[in-house]
Amino acid sequence: MRVDQRNLDQLRPIKITKDYIKHAEGSVLIEVGDTKVICTATIDEKVPPFMRGQGKGWITAEYSMLPRATETRNIREASKGRIGGRTMEIQRLIGRALRSVVDLEALGERTIWLDCDVIQADGGTRTASITGAFIAMADALGKLREKREWAQLPLRDYLAATSVGIIGEEMALDLAYVEDSSAIVDMNIVMTGNGQFVEVQGTGEEKPFTYDQLQGLLELGRKGVQELVALQKEALGEVATYINQGD
């Protein structure tokens, strides 16, 4: 039925390669089907000016695509001299989402930079970025924990994201690019490990959606995120033992 024979409620194959970039404090190559994103976490021992002296940390994210991540070559934002609206929107979403599960007081006056660079795109790059950035961040915090001898990582819970949508009459999980292009409703869902919502962004540009459709999409998304969180735990190995599962 779907382009890759998946069931409507099935995620694409997920592959997580940790320590992908040797210089970064945390790094991961996350592959969600043919979508591939390099996520790195950089710990900077200071916060931006507007936060100094409050004893709290900060999380910020940047997102970009290589020119040939996509079917046709896209012009680099550096060449254009400005970051486009779509990129801005995505990197604000990633930062805000990740921030929601970090205990910023426990982190202390540090900034974590999350860089999500899409090297190959096939739909769902922003949700793959969130899922991968969580792992890179947790891994970087794992190293900091050792150095600082913290009992726990300054995290309140796991965090992962996926997309859901309505294609024709059907609701489907984890849309590939061709599915996303033809979806009449498109929704990104970011949830914590214990099943609460952090972000719900649904758009019915082609056609508005009903209350019942919204419920169905939320349920599909919840299922997908639970599976992603299980994979995050597995990938994190020993570091996972220092992460709270929100209650």
Tokens for 139, please give them.
């891994």
Is 125 annotated in a binding site? The answer is yes
Residues at the contact surface with a second copy, assessed by CB under 8 A: 21-24, 27, 34, 38, 40, 42, 44, 62, 64, 66-71, 73, 76-89, 91-92, 96, 99-100, 113, 115, 117, 119-121, 157, 187, 191-192, 196-211, 214, 218, 246
Is the separation of the CB atoms in 27 and 40 below 8 Å?
A: yes
**Cβ closer to a second copy: 108 or 204?**
204
Is 73 annotated in a binding site? The answer is no
Is 55 annotated in a binding site? The answer is no
What is the secondary structure of 7-19 as a DSSP string?
A: -TT-PPPEEEEES
Among 61, 63, 114, CA closest to 86:
63
Would the CA dihedral through 200, 203, 208, 209 be positive or negative? negative
**Cβ closer to a second copy: 7 or 123?**
123
**Cβ closer to a second copy: 52 or 92?**
92
Task: State the Cα–Cα distance between residues 2 and 160, nearest whole angstrom.
Answer: 23
Instruction: Work out how close the CB of 151 gets to a second copy at its nearest, in angstroms, rounded to a whole number.
Output: 23
Output DSSP code: residue 231: H
Instruction: Work out how close the CB of 174 gets to a second copy at its nearest, in angstroms, rounded to a whole number.
Output: 18
Instruction: Work out how close the CB of 67 gets to a second copy at its nearest, in angstroms, rounded to a whole number.
Output: 5
Half-sphere exposure of 38 (CA within 13 A, CB side): 12
**Binding annotation:** 86, 124-126
* Annotated binding-site residue numbers for phosphate: 86, 124-126
